[in-house]
A and B are shown apart, each in its own frame.
Chain A
Amino acid sequence: MFEPKIVAFFCKWCTSAGADLAGTSRLTYKPNITGIRVMCSSRVDPEHILDAFKNGADGVLIGGCHPGDCHYQSGNYQTLKRVKLLKKMMTDLNINENRLRLEWISAAEGKRFAEVVDAFTEEIRKLGHIHYTTL
């Protein structure tokens, strides 16, 4: 079975804490994902995401705080705007836009974290291996 490689960026305050909660709750999810902890989802530059695809990531997940809950007031809104724009670019680059997913996962949503990771892993599995071609 195809095992996708997934890179994730989690904000320190919400999603990474949610991932920790999934751990302390001993939930299980697919191991295909490897996370990078950043201060805020808004630190994630679209270039980092494209970098991931270029280097063989089959999917990229970004986790931030729910709207209105951002530790830095508006960081998650910046992320939302950038992701929307990047998805358009991805279509132009022949990368299925569903390979990039932005999710709001709070520090209390350990269960949701596990569910999101599993669902995203399955979706990427269906999409298959990425074929990244530069323009």
Chain B
Amino acid sequence: MKRVGVFVCHCGINIASTIDISKVVEDLKNYPGITFIQDYKYMCSEPGQALLKEKIKAEKIDAIVIAACSPTLHENTFRMAVKSVDMNPYNCEIANIREQCSWVHNNISEATEKAKRIIKSVVEKALLDEDLEPVRVPVTRKALVLGGGIAGIQSALSIANSGYEVILVERQSSIGGRMAQLSETFPTLDCSQCILTPKMVDAGQHKNIRLMTYSELDDISGFVGNFKVKIRQKAKYVDWEKCTGCGLCIEKCPKKVPSEFDQGLGKRKAIYTPFPQAVPNKPVIDCENCTYFKTGKCRLCEKVCPFDAINFDETDSFIEEEVGAIIVATGYDVYPVLNMSEYGGGKIPDVIDGLTFERILSASGPTGGEVRRPSDGKIPKEIVFIKCVGSRDPEHHYPYCSKICCMYTTKHAMLYKHRVHDGQPYIFYMDVRAGGKGYEEFYQRAQEEDKVVFLRGKVSKVYQDDDKVVVCGIDTLSGSNVEIRADMVVLAMAIRPSKGIEELAQLLKISIDQNGFLTEAHPKLRPVESLSAGIYLAGCAQAPKDIPDTVSQATATAAMISNLFSQEYLLHEPIITGVDEELCSGCGLCVAVCPYDARKTNREKGVVEVNEILCEACGACAAACPSGAAQQRNFTDTQLSNMVKAILAE
């Protein structure tokens, strides 16, 4: 049998004043399983640790129990100490007789008896503890970033600057994302493209970043440090190796379609780049709208291309890569105005969403930055902004706050006023949430300098009357009904995780919350990790957030990944739950309760197999196993049962 040594700490008087330590030592001296027992004033001190090491050698001890403070304090200290004298650190156990005994009881005899029970039960555990080694896994030092918006760009650049390779995958033909569509950014009003495009160019030219635009993740297998990914490169019909981005094809293309980048307000060609500063600045052919693909005639782009870059026969291709970590930065979509028929969404052309208004305000937008309404191009003299449309509305739409709308609507009203000096902006709001550096001051400025009228209340109805858009609402601060005959209405629509997030989450085996956003590992302490090791979250895919928060989170993911990649091996807690193949019937009950997909049924062998790297050691499977085949290392059924018995024995 194993030789267990017990060391009882006085912790000065912290333990010794309520627990009769000499009685504990005396009574447990002959407890079966205890080879050696000694007390000491401060076990964690240098002399205490020296005593421990000396006795381990002298008494030939192969497992120890330190009866002292909570394991959260010194478990690691003692594990390191025993390791230095060649004892496996997983044979070092802590009996918590301070926080859970001496500090919470006053009666010395009761506390002493309880301390004995605690020590005995931990001795029972130590008797059956196995030598364990942390699971070592190699790591591929290359990251995959999904999404080329500001979140993806920022994380890719940060990782690349740490010296690691990055594959940046974006489904549009250019990186830039939503931020590229914005006019100016709150609260400083700097032009969005002016601060974004240098970063886009950096990402495009960085020696450690491989850009894969017009691409999507197709398949994934593996685990942290060792993912295998398959990326689909969609057919572009333009050989980007040959293309110089001269733009002649775009100029000559006869087919015009609404531009997605301009939210449908402007036009683009069937061969196009989404916007002039695109990175890479090379076109793709939209085969659904291309005249050649539809009628079999045209090929004008092919004729004019000086570099012979057009290839109508191109098909989707697949690239397989190995990566060690993944960042999901897939961003957001705007909840369509069609869902707001009571506000005329989709029926009244001058009722638009906030992102469309960004394009109207943008100097590179369809109106060249002049505020003109979509229906007739007239400059609106009265404009109404409505906040919380689709957000904070659990009964009809979404319960959460979209977070950015308070600030961007304030910005919209301000920018409108800067362009239409004699115009009047109104904002209907539920609350103004201006938490953020410089945000409250920005909101005050909109009221004081730009004379934006803030009306606290909900809008009941929006309807068209001649060329006016009439907004009926209530101002709850004065208690009066309000009717504004506006020229234009802008709805601050809820923001939603971008299209395809469910499929992507399923593919990556990460979870999404009740509102469809990706779930972080812990809401406070692990806000940038998913629950699957090696997969990180950045930007609005995780929750609505503004640019500074997105950039912070994206940089944090890069720090996490640099940390991961700087390790020679990944070490993983070894107290995982294995499978005894002789006992396992392959019933799969354990597979169903595993939150990490660490267990899989091998149909051929009729047993469950465990991926030790994915197992996080909760032990849920061990409790679910009807045959005892699943045993958590150092928390086996026998150990727990012996611990229970030791507590209850007279």
- A residues sitting closer than 8 Å to B (CB atoms) are 5, 7, 17, 19-24, 26-29, 31, 34-40, 42-48, 51-52, 55-57, 71-75, 78, 82, 114
Contacts and interface: CB of A to CB of B under 8 A. Distances in A.
B121 interface: yes
A7 B644 contact: yes
Given A19-B99, A20-B99, A39-B619, A51 B117 contact: no
Contacts of A78: 593, 620, 623-624
Interface stretch (B368-376, B401-409, B632-640): B632-640
Interface stretch (B107-115, B145-153, B455-463, B476-484): B107-115
Interface in B104-143: 104-107, 110-111, 113-114, 117-118, 121
B121 A34 contact: yes
A73 B635 contact: no
A26 B100 CA distance: 10
B643 interface: yes
Contact of B105 (A28, A74, A82): A28
Interface in B600-650: 616-620, 622-624, 632, 635, 637, 640-641, 643-645, 647-649
Contact of B104 (A22, A40, A44, A75): A22
A73 B531 contact: yes
The 9 closest A-B pairs by CB, nearest first: A23-B99, A43-B619, A42-B620, A72-B618, A23-B103, A40-B618, A73-B595, A45-B623, A20-B99
A42 B618 contact: yes
B617 A20 contact: no
Most interface-central of A24, A42, A47, A57 (chain B CB within 10 A) = A42
A73 B536 CA distance: 16
A57 B644 CA distance: 9
Contact of B644 (A19, A24, A36, A75): A36
Contacts of A46: 623
A82 B648 contact: no
B121 to A, nearest CB: 6
Contacts of A51: 641, 644-645
B100 A35 contact: yes
Contacts of B100: 19-20, 23, 35
Interface range on chain B: under 10, 10 to 19, 20 to 34, or 35 or more? 35 or more
Contacts of A26: 103-104
A17 B72 contact: yes
Contacts of B619: 38-40, 42-43
Given A55-B645, A55-B648, A75 B99 contact: no
27 contacts: A22-B99, A23-B104, A28-B104, A28-B106, A29-B105, A31-B111, A34-B114, A38-B635, A39-B619, A42-B620, A43-B620, A43-B635, A45-B623, A46-B623, A51-B641, A51-B644, A55-B645, A56-B648, A57-B644, A57-B647, A71-B618, A73-B531, A74-B595, A75-B595, A78-B593, A78-B620, A78-B624
A7 B96 CA distance: 15
A37 B96 contact: yes
Interface of B: 70-72, 96, 98-101, 103-107, 110-111, 113-114, 117-118, 121, 511, 522, 531, 575, 593, 595, 616-620, 622-624, 632, 635, 637, 640-641, 643-645, 647-649
Given A24-B99, A114-B104, A43 B616 contact: no
Nearest to B112: A31
B281 to A, nearest CB: 44
A23 B98 contact: yes
Contacts of A38: 619, 635, 640
B618 A36 contact: no
Given A45-B622, A45-B623, A39 B617 contact: yes
Contacts of A72: 595, 616, 618, 620
Given A37-B71, A52-B644, A52-B648, A44 B623 contact: yes
Contacts of B99: 19-24
Contacts of A56: 648
Nearest to B531: A73
B156 to A, nearest CB: 29
Contacts of B647: 5, 7, 34, 36, 57
Contacts of B640: 36, 38, 43-45, 48
